[in-house]
Amino acid sequence: MTFPTFFKNSLMAVSLMTVSFAFAGDGVSSFSEMMNTPFAPNLTIQSNDKMVQVAQPGLASLTYYTDRTTFDLDAPDLPLEDFEGGAAAPGQIVGCGSPLSESGSPCFGTGIEAGLEVHASSETNIVALGAGIVPINNTTWVGSDLFNDFTFLEFTNGDAFAVGLDLFDFFGSPTITVNVYSDSGLIGTNIALSGGFFGVVSDEPITMLVLGTTSNVIVLDNVAFGNPIVDTDGDGYPDDEDSCPESDLNGYVIIDGCNSGVNNTLLGSGCSISDMIADCAAGASNHGEFVSCVADLTNWLKKDGVITGRQKGAIQRCAARSSL
What's the mean pLDDT when you consider all of the chain? 82
Query: What whole-number distance in Å separates Cα of residue 265 and Cα of residue 311?
Result: 12
Query: Which tens digits make up the pLDDT trace of 14-44?
Result: 332 233 333 333 566 888 777 665 544 444 3
User: What are the C-alpha distances in Å from 193 to residues 69, 136, 163, 199?
Assistant: 17, 14, 16, 12
Give the CA angle between residues 162, 168, 171 to the nearest 5°: 155
Q: Can you give the pLDDT at residue 259? A: 95
Instruction: Tell which residue, 270, 274, 266, has the closest CA to residue 238.
Output: 270
Helix (H), strand (E) at residue 177: strand 175-182
- Cβ–Cβ < 8 Å for 316, 307: no
Highest mean pLDDT among 22-26, 170-174, 262-266: 262-266
pLDDT tens-digit map of 268-279: 888 999 999 999
- Grade residue 240 by pLDDT with cuts at 50, 70 and 90: confident
- Low-confidence winner among 75-79, 257-261, 293-297 (lowest mean pLDDT): 75-79
Helical (H) or strand (E) element with 124? none
| Nearest one of 257, 84, 226, 242 to 164, comparing CA atoms | 226
**Residue 36 confidence (pLDDT):** 66
Over residues 69-128, the pLDDT tens digits come to 999 988 888 999 999 989 999 999 999 988 999 998 999 999 999 999 999 988 889 999
Q: Which among 146, 192, 200, 197 is positioned nearest to 33, based on CA atoms?
A: 146
DSSP letters for 4-54: -HHHHHHHHHTHHHHHHHHHTTS---BHHHHTTSS------PPP-S--EE-
pTM of structure: 0.64
